[in-house]
């Protein structure tokens, strides 16, 4: 749906013929933007939320989170809205060195990313000016910013929040650059397994790589509703022949790489197509600007292997909406001095740094590139072998895999 197909501005609540004036205009209604809109509205601020699409399309993104992620939803008052979109699970089976290494009951939650974002979007109250359209101009005003949409609608806001994820258009319009710190850092595959999730003999299953030459971190299986979903995180380039082979015969590739778990995984029979997403690690530059802030993937991107994306996104939203925006709006002006406080927020800074750090660490230690990382990889394998031997003393003739 484009902005042109919406009713005329004057017939939409909150908009008159000359447009609208709000405290905060948010561009991009993914997880970050929608969470910002809900939280700021709940805190009594006047908010506009603008996205190019009326609904978030199905796409392969984050599909699993833990209690630490959920606690951030709680801090924003979004846990109750989100819970119906989540499938909760226990009984986590962890395989290392090809053998069952641990079984734990740590709560985790599976979800379709579009299902979660759309559940949050449906909860956006009518008091939020919710617009579907394209922003074509961002002007600087003495006390904020003016957005102009493709249909001519103009929104004056004291603050613009840019939460457009990987989209380049708005960042470019605002003069924000992006530096890629690690191109093609990882490559994620997402697919369904055949059959009903309840018929598998585990809640979740994580199988970690046994050999660094295999160039993957782990396969994780978890339910979304009654479907057993798989995320397979590799360190491959999209042009690697492995990708072509995986698309052509995923069942055989998985059986070759992890034969030990094939019997408990329905012999890896797939229940649908394979999605493939390459991931770059990136960071924005020139972002300290009056009247404009970046949140979530619009600010930086990390790797899905350590699963830190959601906590980074929700930490941005929590610090911005619970701490900084209420303080900024309480006094006149929206200069760089105010905006800088968010980018220097110690909780945000540490969350971003840690996300980037573990993204690099996971790749280096999994691939064992260079002597130091090869030694670390070997040390980790030795430690795990010893632990496995303590837990399950080897029987005659039984090996521990790679």
Ligand X SMILES: Cc1cc2nc3c(=O)[nH]c(=O)nc-3n(C[C@H](O)[C@H](O)[C@H](O)COP(=O)(O)OP(=O)(O)OC[C@H]3O[C@@H](n4cnc5c(N)ncnc54)[C@H](O)[C@@H]3O)c2cc1C
Question: In whole angstroms, what is the distance from residue 275 CA to residue 269 CA?
Answer: 16
Cβ of residue 306: shortest distance to ligand X, in angstroms? 8
Tell me if 223 contacts ligand X by CB under 6 A.
no
Strand-pair partners of 49: 26, 130
Question: In whole angstroms, what is the distance from residue 91 CA to residue 51 CA?
Answer: 39
Of 310, 314, 325, 334, the residue at the interface with ligand X (CB under 6 A) is: 310
Cβ of residue 323: shortest distance to ligand X, in angstroms? 19
Which of these ranges, 50-58, 97-105, 261-269, 368-376, lies near ligand X under the rule CB under 6 A?
A: 50-58
Closest alpha carbon to 50 in 75, 20, 27, 77: 27
Place of tokens 């996971």: 362
Of 24, 78, 135, 320, the residue at the interface with ligand X (CB under 6 A) is: 135
Which of these ranges, 17-25, 36-44, 157-165, 356-364, lies near ligand X under the rule CB under 6 A?
A: 157-165
Q: Which residues of 202-222 are buried (b: 16+ CB within 10 A; e: fewer)?
A: bbbbbbbbbebebbbbbbbbb
Cβ of residue 263: shortest distance to ligand X, in angstroms? 26
Per the rule left: phi > 0, alpha: psi between -120 and 50, beta: everything else, 215 is left
Which of these ranges, 29-37, 71-79, 152-160, 199-207, lies near ligand X under the rule CB under 6 A?
A: 29-37
Neighbours of 303 (CB within 10 A): 26
Question: In whole angstroms, what is the distance from residue 372 CA to residue 167 CA?
Answer: 37
Question: In whole angstroms, what is the distance from residue 17 CA to residue 14 CA?
Answer: 10
Question: In whole angstroms, what is the distance from residue 197 CA to residue 201 CA?
Answer: 9
State the Cα torsion 310-316-322-328 to the nearest 10°. Answer: -160
Closest alpha carbon to 193 in 246, 219, 229: 229
Tell me if 165 contacts ligand X by CB under 6 A.
yes
**How many chain residues touch ligand X (CB under 6 A)?**
36
User: For ligand X, which residue has the nearest CB?
Assistant: 30
395 burial type by CB count under 10 A (0-12 exposed, 13-18 middle, 19+ buried) = exposed
Closest alpha carbon to 14 in 54, 50, 47: 47
Which of these ranges, 11-19, 292-300, 381-389, 391-399, lies near ligand X under the rule CB under 6 A?
A: 292-300
Tell me if 163 contacts ligand X by CB under 6 A.
yes
Tell me if 66 contacts ligand X by CB under 6 A.
no
386 burial type by CB count under 10 A (0-12 exposed, 13-18 middle, 19+ buried) = exposed
Cβ of residue 88: shortest distance to ligand X, in angstroms? 16
Of 191, 307, 338, 352, the residue at the interface with ligand X (CB under 6 A) is: 307
Cβ of residue 392: shortest distance to ligand X, in angstroms? 29
Residues 6 or more apart in contact with residue 344 via CB below 8 angstroms: none
Classified as helix, coil or strand, 169 is helix
Question: Between 97 and 243, whose beta carbon lies closer to ligand X?
Answer: 243
Of 304, 315, 359, 362, the residue at the interface with ligand X (CB under 6 A) is: 304
Of 9, 23, 45, 51, the residue at the interface with ligand X (CB under 6 A) is: 51
Of 39, 41, 64, 363, the residue at the interface with ligand X (CB under 6 A) is: 64
Question: Between 17 and 57, whose beta carbon lies closer to ligand X?
Answer: 57
Per the rule left: phi > 0, alpha: psi between -120 and 50, beta: everything else, 145 is beta
Question: Between 36 and 193, whose beta carbon lies closer to ligand X?
Answer: 36
Question: Between 167 and 401, whose beta carbon lies closer to ligand X?
Answer: 167
Cβ of residue 177: shortest distance to ligand X, in angstroms? 16
Site for ligand X in 329-368 (CB under 6 A): none
Tell me if 293 contacts ligand X by CB under 6 A.
no
Of 61, 229, 324, 338, the residue at the interface with ligand X (CB under 6 A) is: 61
Tell me if 115 contacts ligand X by CB under 6 A.
no
Binding site for ligand X (CB under 6 A): 27-33, 50-53, 56, 60-62, 64, 134-135, 163-165, 167, 169-170, 188, 277, 279, 296-298, 304, 307-310, 313
């Amino acid at each position: 749906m484009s902005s042109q197909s919406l009713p005329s501005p004057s017939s939409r609540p909150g908009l008159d013929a000359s447009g609208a004036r709000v405290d905060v205009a948010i561009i991009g209604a993914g997880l970050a933007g929608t969470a910002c809109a809900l939280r700021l509205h709940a805190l009594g601020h006047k908010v506009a939320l603008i996205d190019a699409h009326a609904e978030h399309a199905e796409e392969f993104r984050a599909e699993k989170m833990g209690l630490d992620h959920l606690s951030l939803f709680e801090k924003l008052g979004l846990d109750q809205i989100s819970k119906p979109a989540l499938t909760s699970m226990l009984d986590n089976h962890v395989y290392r060195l090809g053998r069952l290494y641990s079984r734990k009951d740590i709560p985790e939650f599976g979800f379709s990313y579009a299902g979660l974002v759309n559940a949050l979007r449906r909860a956006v109250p009518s008091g939020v000016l919710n617009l579907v359209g394209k922003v074509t101009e961002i002007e600087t005003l003495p006390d904020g910013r003016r957005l102009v949409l493709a249909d001519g609608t103009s929104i004056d806001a004291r603050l613009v929040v840019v939460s457009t994820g990987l989209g380049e258009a708005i960042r470019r319009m605002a003069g924000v650059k992006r530096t890629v710190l690690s191109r093609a850092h990882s490559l994620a595959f997402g697919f369904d397994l055949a059959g009903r999730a309840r018929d598998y003999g585990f809640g979740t299953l994580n199988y970690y790589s046994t050999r660094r030459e295999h160039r993957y971190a782990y396969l994780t299986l978890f339910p979304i509703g009654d479907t057993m979903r798989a995320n397979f995180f590799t360190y491959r380039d999209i042009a690697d022949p492995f990708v072509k082979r995986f698309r052509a015969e995923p069942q055989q590739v998985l059986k070759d790489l992890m034969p030990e778990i094939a019997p408990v995984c329905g012999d890896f029979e797939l229940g649908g197509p394979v999605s493939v997403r390459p991931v770059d690690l990136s960071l924005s530059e020139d972002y300290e600007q009056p009247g404009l802030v970046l949140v979530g993937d619009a600010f930086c991107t990390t790797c899905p292997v350590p699963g830190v994306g959601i906590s980074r996104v929700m930490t941005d939203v929590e610090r911005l909406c619970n701490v900084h925006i209420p303080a900024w709006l309480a006094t006149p002006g929206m200069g760089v001095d105010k905006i800088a406080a968010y980018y220097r927020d110690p909780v945000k800074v540490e969350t971003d740094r840690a996300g980037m750090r573990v993204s690099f660490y996971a790749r280096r230690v999994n691939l064992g590139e260079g002597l130091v990382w090869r030694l670390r990889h070997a040390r980790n394998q030795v430690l795990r072998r010893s632990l496995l031997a303590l837990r399950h003393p080897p029987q005659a003739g039984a090996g521990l895999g790679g």
